[in-house]
Amino acid sequence: MFKISGLFLKRVFFVIVCIITVSLHTYAQNNKSTDSVPSLNIDQCIAYGLQHHPNILQSGIAISIAKKTNQINLSGWIPQLNASGIIYHYFTLPTSFTENQANPGGPLIPVKAGLHNTATPQLTASETLFNPILLYDAKSAHLLVQQAQQASDSTKINIIASVSSAFYNLLLTLEQISVLTEDTARNSKNLRDTYHQYVGGIVDKTDYKEAYITLNNSKAQLKQQMLNVRPQYAILKQQIGYPPENNFNVSFDTVQMVKQIAMDTAQQLQYGKRIEYQMLETAKSLQEQNVNYYRYSFLPSASVLYSYDYEFENGNSADLFSQAYPYSYLGGSISIPLFTGFARIENLQRSKMQEEIIDLSVVNLKSVIYSQYSTALANYKSNLYDFYIMRDNVAMAKDVYDVVSLQYKQGIVPYLNVITAESDLISSEISYTNALFQVLLTKVDLDKAMGNIH
């Protein structure tokens, strides 16, 4: 008869208990939970990501850049003040022509005018009264900030969806570990009971070997899921911008999550709630301003100018700054683009075509949004139905396993029935766990598709 010593069985049971204990303490972080390690639930993970993720910080900087760009573009409306200076020395004085006093009305005579050394500091103030470019900058300024803000909002929405998915994927693995840990403990008990029945001559060695095989399979599945925790934990860290060298615990309430799976699927799809749609609307408004700029670019540019010059002149370089001859003047300028080689017309037509591209992009986006919404809604309803089915299956599988296990101990059914019932139970529990988190994941997708994530 096939015999196994009691000492060997004790060692096997001790190893199993160690594996279960290690699983319970290491499946989340590979480290013991201490007071110094924070615990974060899904809302806290999202909040942390919205404050620390590099993409969020970059989008915040982009908004500030847009505001600074507007200040730069609109600075042309503010009076401009410039200081300049020039100094030069004439080797030969310039020639000018003047009337011959000895022969009035006769030919002009050339004379050398000026002094050999001249220095002229100049202070100029100018103010633009009207300019088509500045008008365009003024009308599009708020749209540029709005565009940057919407890009930031889009980043936030993607962060929320990504963090939620990463969090639920990690929890799915942790829940599977919990289920498999319970299964391993159950199978270890079955192994122990089968061994005692085998020693007592109630069953043969096949039942014991089958129990041992079942336990090994359970342990292998548990080990595989434990190894999956580390990369998923790293993904969650990356999604929230958490320092790789630091750790945190994930906290969750499965009962509360079950309460959150319900969603009103009768809501109507509103395209305007999607950030992508809002961004295209802003892009169209900017393009309309671009069209208006080329439409009115024939308008003149006008400005006024005041200049104060403090001129020094002297024939002797050493005495150049001994005497000043200041003068000032006030003037204005106007520039009218009469003909630009048809550039204005071509630019106007090009801008209108670019506007048509945006209109077509809106049409295409509506189709994409509807496709995403239909897919997400179908997946959510399907997974929700599976969740309720799997929940009922777990309850029934537990009842079946308890009955079959009791019948086996009483010698009514063979051990194969126990294996089948246990296999059905673990499959039902795993399927239930998968269904729960699939519902949560598809609910995130549906909320994103409907524009409910802000």
Bridge partners of 329, per DSSP, are: 307
Tens-digit pLDDT profile for residues 15-69: 444 444 444 344 444 444 445 788 999 999 999 999 999 999 999 999 999 999 9
Query: Which residue in this structure is represented by tokens 């925790």?
Result: 229
pLDDT, position 33? 43
Tens-digit pLDDT profile for residues 164-178: 999 999 998 998 898
pLDDT, position 252? 84
Using an 8 Å Cβ cutoff, are 153 and 275 in contact?
yes
Domain with CATH 2.20.200 in the chain: 79-130+301-335
pLDDT, position 29? 43
Which residues touch 170 (CB under 8 Å, ≥6 apart)?
A: 229, 232, 233, 235, 236, 250
Q: pLDDT band at 379, cuts 50/70/90?
A: very high
Q: Give dist(CA 65, CA 68) in Å, integer.
A: 5
Q: pLDDT band at 400, cuts 50/70/90?
A: very high
Q: pLDDT band at 6, cuts 50/70/90?
A: very low
Q: pLDDT band at 3, cuts 50/70/90?
A: very low
Q: Using CA of residue 260, residue 265, residue 271, residue 273, what is the dihedral sign?
A: negative
Q: Percent of the chain beyond pLDDT 90?
A: 59
pLDDT, position 44? 94
Tens-digit pLDDT profile for residues 310-322: 999 998 888 899 9
- The CATH class for the domain spanning 79-130+301-335 reads mainly beta
* Rounded mean pLDDT, 72-94: 93
- Average confidence score pLDDT of the chain: 87
- Following DSSP, what letter does each residue of 47-84 receive, concatenated? HHHHHH-HHHHHHHHHHHHHHHHHHHHHGGGSPEEEEE
* Rounded mean pLDDT, 230-250: 93
Tens-digit pLDDT profile for residues 410-450: 888 887 888 888 888 888 988 998 899 999 999 999 999 99
Domain with CATH 1.20.1600.10 in the chain: 6-78+131-298+340-450
Using an 8 Å Cβ cutoff, are 300 and 336 in contact?
yes
- The CATH class for the domain spanning 6-78+131-298+340-450 reads mainly alpha
pLDDT, position 196? 79
